[in-house]
């Protein structure tokens, strides 16, 4: 029988959330929405030594910014399986550790740090694998080697202990991964992982499996780095007798460096100038700042789209997808097995596409913000702003570029492109500019078409060829050599400003 889809994103609050983690959250979200299931956020904070203040809030804020909304869990409201923070579920796990102990699938171990390191030294000397496992546990201090009454005495005297999983010797553990197919591990390659500690805290493995079971998770979709933990998880489901409830597994491919060798890291971002975090993060200890996509001027829709395409493809040429389109198209079958190379140029391209696609009215707030920064927020009406938005957004990749690119819509040029001036200015120009001012001034309607007509007539009268002068005319109005159609700019600026700018150019351009 098909069970209802429930997936979870289960980050540990150990610092900023890498975009690989964001992608994991996104794929879980897309999968849940596509299947009409639930998406849950669970915070896995059992390792108190790695807890970083602010990290949990950071993760939630990042997901909200991107529109990756959960049905239940931290940051999105409790559901029937609360609490969703493992530190608040501490009381739950001991019972399960005891269950494994009683069934002979786990054991107490009392080894000190020195015991463990001398075991490692001993094993390294003989080139054997230095791990606590079905062979080496027989020479360590645990409830399998110590007499029963001593185990009891140690437990009663409050000695530190851990509960380890008792791996079967030389057993093939097979699991079906929805992306990779059948994967097989031999327990000889694994070790007796710690599941629980005497301070009452479970480790990741126990808490993760118990919670997935208790929260009725149907699919575990997570990064490839957890694939090597999956056989232990399968064994745990077996030992608990929960095989029928075991979720399906899907391990997502790594995000790779642009060069393709190794995992994408913050250092790659710093080196090549792109963010690897969704939003800015300030490390609470070192104060080191990691730049976010949000603060770098990326639009959330673009980030969602570009992350979706890193490791998944729709099987068609379509590259631009809204969230709804992604939900519609997403399947685990189309997630690739091999790592996805991060391409910083493609990331920029995605943002550019979304900036170009933006509605003029959605772009207005960005222009407004720039105007406020330059003390010009009341200088222009809504209609003017809408028109400038239309012309500016087609030419930029990031909203933050709008001032550099389109400042001339709002302030008179202070500089004039030197190359153009040098090439095109000559003794006939001042007279022509004066004529233009005069002829423009007497126009009744000042539209793109009528401006062009009067401009052409004036040029003809002065015996100057259009192609020689057009670029200089643009520089007089805007200061720069490129941009939208120059007569369109003139219409937008209006008659007065156009004439004033020509006058300014006449006075300011010196050869
Ligand atoms: N807490 C783990 C992490 O930080 C979760 C791994 C999993 O999804 O099982 O990624």
User: Distance (Å, rounded) from C-alpha 250 to C-alpha 206?
Assistant: 19
Specify the 3-state DSSP secondary structure of 343.
coil
The 10 Å Cβ neighbour count of residue 309 is 20
User: Distance (Å, rounded) from C-alpha 361 to C-alpha 277?
Assistant: 28
For residue 10, which atom of ligand 1 is closest to its CA?
5
Specify the 3-state DSSP secondary structure of 205.
helix
Q: Are 258 and 344 in contact (CB under 8 A)?
A: yes
Q: Are 74 and 85 in contact (CB under 8 A)?
A: yes
Q: How far is the CA of 97 from the centre of ligand 1 (A)?
A: 20
> Alpha helices of 358-465 — where are they, by DSSP H?
360-373, 382-393, 402-406, 418-424, 429-441, 448-462
Fold of the CATH domain 1-74+253-357? Rossmann fold (3.40.50)
Name every protein residue with a CB atom under 6 angstroms from any ligand 1 atom: 10-12, 44, 204, 208, 222, 226
Closest CA to 326 of 128, 21, 30, 22: 30
Look up tokens 């913000």; give the residue.
369
Tens place of pLDDT per residue across the chain (511 aa):
568 999 999 999 999 999 999 999 999 999 999 999 999 999 999 998 999 999 999 999 999 999 999 999 999 999 999 999 999 999 999 999 999 999 999 999 999 999 999 999 988 888 778 899 999 999 999 999 999 999 999 999 999 999 999 999 999 999 999 999 999 999 999 999 999 999 999 999 999 999 999 999 999 999 999 999 999 999 999 999 999 999 999 999 999 999 999 999 999 999 999 999 999 999 999 999 999 999 999 999 999 999 999 999 999 999 999 999 999 999 999 999 999 999 999 999 999 999 999 999 999 999 999 999 999 988 899 999 999 999 999 999 999 999 999 999 999 999 999 999 999 999 999 999 999 999 999 999 999 999 999 999 999 999 998 888 999 999 999 999 999 999 999 999 999 999 999 999 999 997 6
User: Distance (Å, rounded) from C-alpha 12 to C-alpha 267?
Assistant: 21
CA separation, residue 278 to residues 17, 41, 196, 259, 307 (Å):
7, 17, 33, 21, 11
Indicate the pTM of the whole model. Answer: 0.92
Q: Which CATH architecture fits 90-197?
A: Alpha-Beta Complex (3.90)
User: Distance (Å, rounded) from C-alpha 29 to C-alpha 21?
Assistant: 12
Closest CA to 215 of 42, 63, 354: 42
Q: How far is the CA of 407 from the centre of ligand 1 (A)?
A: 47
Q: List the catalytic residue out of 266, 357, 434, 500.
A: 266
Q: How far is the CA of 391 from the centre of ligand 1 (A)?
A: 46
Of the options 3.30.1550.10, 2.50.20.10, 1.10.10.350, 2.60.40.420, the CATH number for the domain spanning 418-508: 1.10.10.350
> Is-same-fold flag (90-197; 418-508)?
no
Q: Where are the domains of the chain?
A: 1-74+253-357, 90-197, 358-409, 418-508
Determine whether 266 is an active site residue.
yes
């Amino acid at each position: 029988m098909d069970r209802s889809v429930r997936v979870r994103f289960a980050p540990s609050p150990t610092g900023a959330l890498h975009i690989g983690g964001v992608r994991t959250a996104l794929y879980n979200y897309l999968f849940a929405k596509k299947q009409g299931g639930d998406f849950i956020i669970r915070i896995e904070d059992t390792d108190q030594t790695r807890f970083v203040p602010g990290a949990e809030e950071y993760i939630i804020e990042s997901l909200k910014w991107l529109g990756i909304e959960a049905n239940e869990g931290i940051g999105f409201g409790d559901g029937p399986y609360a609490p969703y923070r493992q530190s608040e579920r501490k009381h739950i796990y001991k019972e399960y550790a005891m269950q494994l102990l009683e069934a002979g699938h786990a054991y107490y171990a009392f080894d000190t740090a020195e015991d463990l390191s001398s075991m490692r030294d001993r094993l390294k000397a003989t080139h054997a694998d230095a791990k606590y496992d079905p062979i080496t546990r027989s020479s360590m201090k645990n409830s399998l080697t110590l007499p029963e009454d001593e185990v009891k005495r140690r437990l009663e005297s409050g000695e530190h202990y851990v509960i380890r999983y008792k791996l079967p010797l030389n057993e093939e553990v097979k699991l079906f991964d929805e992306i990779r197919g059948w994967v097989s591990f031999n327990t000889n390659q694994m070790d007796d992982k710690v599941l629980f500690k005497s301070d009452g805290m479970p480790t990741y493995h126990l808490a993760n499996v118990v919670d997935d079971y208790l929260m009725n998770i149907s699919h575990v979709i997570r990064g490839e780095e957890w694939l090597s933990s999956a056989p232990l998880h399968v064994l745990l489901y077996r030992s608990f007798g929960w095989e029928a409830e075991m979720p399906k597994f899907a391990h997502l491919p790594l995000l790779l460096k642009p060069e393709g060798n190794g995992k994408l890291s913050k250092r790659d971002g710093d080196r090549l100038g792109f963010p690897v975090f969704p939003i800015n993060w300030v490390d609470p200890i070192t104060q080191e700042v990691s730049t976010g996509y949000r603060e770098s001027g990326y639009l959330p829709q673009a980030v969602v789209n570009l992350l979706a395409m890193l490791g998944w493809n729709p099987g068609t040429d379509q590259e631009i997808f809204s969230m709804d389109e992604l939900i519609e198209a997403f399947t685990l079958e189309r997630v690739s097995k091999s790592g996805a190379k991060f391409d910083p140029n493609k990331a920029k391209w995605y943002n550019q596409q979304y900036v170009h696609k933006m509605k003029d009215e959605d772009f207005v707030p960005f222009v407004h913000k720039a105007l406020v920064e330059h003390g010009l927020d009341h200088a222009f009406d809504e209609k003017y702003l809408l028109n400038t938005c239309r012309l500016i957004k087609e030419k930029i990749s990031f909203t933050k570029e709008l001032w550099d690119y389109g400042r001339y819509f709002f302030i008179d040029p202070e500089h004039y492109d030197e190359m153009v001036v040098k090439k095109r200015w000559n003794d006939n120009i001042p007279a022509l500019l004066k004529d233009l001012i005069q002829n423009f001034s007497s126009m009744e309607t000042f539209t793109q078409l009528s401006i062009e007509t009067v401009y052409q007539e004036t040029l003809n009268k002065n015996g100057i060829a259009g192609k020689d002068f057009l670029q200089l005319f643009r520089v007089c109005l805007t200061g720069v050599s490129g941009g939208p159609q120059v007569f369109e700019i003139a219409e937008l600026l209006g008659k007065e400003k156009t004439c004033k700018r020509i006058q300014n150019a006449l006075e300011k351009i010196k050869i």
